[in-house]
Amino acid sequence: MAEEAGMFTVPQTIGTVLCCKCGIPMAPNAANMCVKCLQSEVDITEGLQKHVIILHCPECDKYLQPPRTWIKAQLESKELLTFCVKRVKNLNKVKLVHAEFVWTEPHSKRIKVRLRVQKEVLNGAILDQTCIVEYVQQEHMCESCTRVQANPDQWVASVQLRQHVSHRRTFYYLEQLILKHDAAVRAIKIKLMDQGIDFFFGNRNHAVKFVEFLGKVAPIRSRHDKQLVSHDSKSNNYNYKYTFSVEISPICREDLICLPPKLAGSIGNIGPLVICTKVTHSIALLDPFTLRHCFLDAEKYWRVSFKSLFTSRQLVEYIILDLEPISSEVNVGESKYVLAECQVARVSDFGKNDTIFNIRTHLGHLLKPGDYALGYDLYNANSNDIDFDKHKRLNLPEAILMKKSYEEKRQEKHGKARPYKLRSINMDVDESQSRAEQEKMSSEYEQFLRDLEENPEMRFNISLYRNKEYQPSEIASMTDGEDLPSVPLEELMADLDISDEEDVDESMRE
pLDDT at residue 432 above 80? Answer: no
Flag whether pLDDT at 115 surpasses 50: yes
| pLDDT band at residue 26 using 50, 70 and 90 as cut-offs | confident
SS3 168: coil
Residue 470 has pLDDT above 80, yes or no: no
Max avg pLDDT among 405-414, 448-457, 490-499: 448-457
Q: What is the pLDDT of residues 192-251, one digit of tens each?
A: 888 899 999 988 999 999 999 999 999 999 999 999 888 888 888 888 899 999 999 999
Choose the weakest-confidence range: 154-158, 181-185, 200-204, 498-502: 498-502
Integer-rounded Cα radius of gyration of the chain: 33
Q: By C-alpha distance, which of 205, 203, 182, 190 is closest to 152?
A: 190
Report the pLDDT averaged over residues 272-281. Answer: 90
The helix (run of H) or strand (run of E) holding residue 80 is: helix 78-86
Please, which residues bridge with residue 477 across strands? none
Domain residue spans of the chain = 17-143, 155-248, 255-405
Sheet holding 372-377, edge to edge: 357-361, 340-346, 316-325, 372-377, 399-405
pLDDT above 90 covers a percentage of the chain that reads 26
Q: Does the structure show a pLDDT above 60 at 142?
A: yes
**Contact yes or no for 484/208 (Cβ under 8 A):** no
- In the prediction, which pLDDT does 481 show? 40
CA end-to-end distance (rounded Å), the chain: 73
- The answer on pLDDT for 496 being more than 70 is no
- pLDDT value at 43 more than 90: no
Calpha distance 265→270 (Å, rounded): 7
Q: Is the model more confident about 488 or about 473?
A: 488
Element (H, E) at 143: helix 143-150
Calculate the alpha carbon distances from 315 to 171, 351, 354, 436 in Å.
21, 21, 20, 21
Q: Using CA atoms, how far apart are residues 376 and 398, in angstroms rounded to an integer?
A: 9
Query: What is the pLDDT at residue 134?
Result: 93
List of residues 6+ apart from 142 with CB closer than 8 A:
57, 59, 60, 62, 64, 70
**Segment 124-149 mean pLDDT:** 83
Residue 2 pLDDT exceeds 60: no
Q: Phi then psi for 132, rounded to 5 degrees?
A: -110, 125
CA–centroid distance for 78 within its chain = 21
CB-based burial of residue 274 (10 Å sphere; 0-12 exposed, 13-18 middle, 19+ buried)? Answer: buried
Question: In CATH, what class is 17-143?
Answer: alpha beta
